[in-house]
Amino acid sequence: MGHSVEAPRSVRIWFDGAIEPVFSTVRVEDGDKRRVDAGDARVDTKDSTLLEVSLPALPPGSYKVFWSVVARDGHRTEGAFPFRSSKP
Q: What is the pLDDT of residue 21?
A: 95
What is the sign, positive or negative, of the torsion defined by CA atoms of 5, 17, 70, 45? positive
Judge whether residue 7 has pLDDT over 70. Answer: no
Q: What is the pLDDT of residue 85?
A: 87
pLDDT tens for each residue of 21-51: 999 999 999 999 999 999 999 999 999 999 9
Q: What is the pLDDT of residue 5?
A: 56
3 vs 69: CA distance, rounded Å: 23
